[in-house]
Amino acid sequence: MRRIVAFTLLVTSALLSQTDKNKFKTPNDQSPPKETSVTINGKEIWIVYHAPSVRGRKVFGGTDALQADNTIWRMGADQATFLHTDAALDLNGLNVPAGEYTLFIDLDGGKWSLIVNKQTGQWGIGPGRIPAQDLGRTAMTMSKPPALVEQHKITLASAGGNKGTLKVEWEHVSASVPFTVK
């Protein structure tokens, strides 16, 4: 009987501690909420973001772009992009403990860096991101998709074993980061 009660308490505690993804989703027809997830070695990793579309605009690559070079981008629209991981990750050399984070990208002249920030719930950029809360940053591998990516897309995918990939695509840019589940 004690084992059943202990197991029930453990399961209930785990269920109650789950983060509600919906609190990071804002209704927006122009930039709808999206999510991506992957389970590796029984550990779930997920991201919630808002996906704007190109709609004929220049998104990256210059001072006249929607996301100008040498700025910090929240990886979407509305609320900053939210990462949840049940396991510690090695994100291309950056140690990320299990937990919840906000993701940004430093658009450094075409050599992007993924920024993992310990604060969550920020709205956009500007005063939303506190650099002192950055866990760290890691280089992204840059490439071009075969065709225009009209709607911003983030993908988490398994790469076999305990490995995975986080990929960001929008307009004429694709950037990725490999990770290992510890």
Count H helices and E strands in the chain, helices first: 1, 13
* pLDDT given for residue 23 in this prediction: 61
User: Where does the pLDDT of residue 122 fall: very low under 50, low under 70, confident under 90, or very high at 90 and above?
Assistant: confident
Q: How confident is the model over 87-111, as pLDDT tens digits? A: 999 999 999 999 999 999 999 988 9
* pLDDT for 24: 63
CB 67 within 8 A of CB 106: no
Question: What pLDDT, on the 0 to 100 scale, is given for residue 19?
Answer: 77
Q: For 22-38, what is each residue's pLDDT tens digit?
A: 666 666 667 789 999 99
Domain ranges of the chain: 20-181
The pTM (predicted TM-score) of the whole model is 0.86
Higher-confidence position of 143 and 24: 143
Three-class DSSP category at 129: coil
What is the b/e burial string over 42-56, where b = at least 16 CB atoms within 10 angstroms of the residue's CB? ebebbbbbbbbbbee
Contact 72, 20 (CB under 8 A): no
User: What is the mean predicted confidence (pLDDT) over 119-123?
Assistant: 85
Using one digit for the tens of pLDDT, what is the confidence trace for 34-56?
A: 999 999 999 999 999 999 999 99
Would you say residue 67 has pLDDT above 70?
Answer: yes
pLDDT at 27: 66
Q: Binning pLDDT at 50, 70 and 90, where does residue 6 land?
A: very low
Q: Is the pLDDT of residue 4 over 80?
A: no
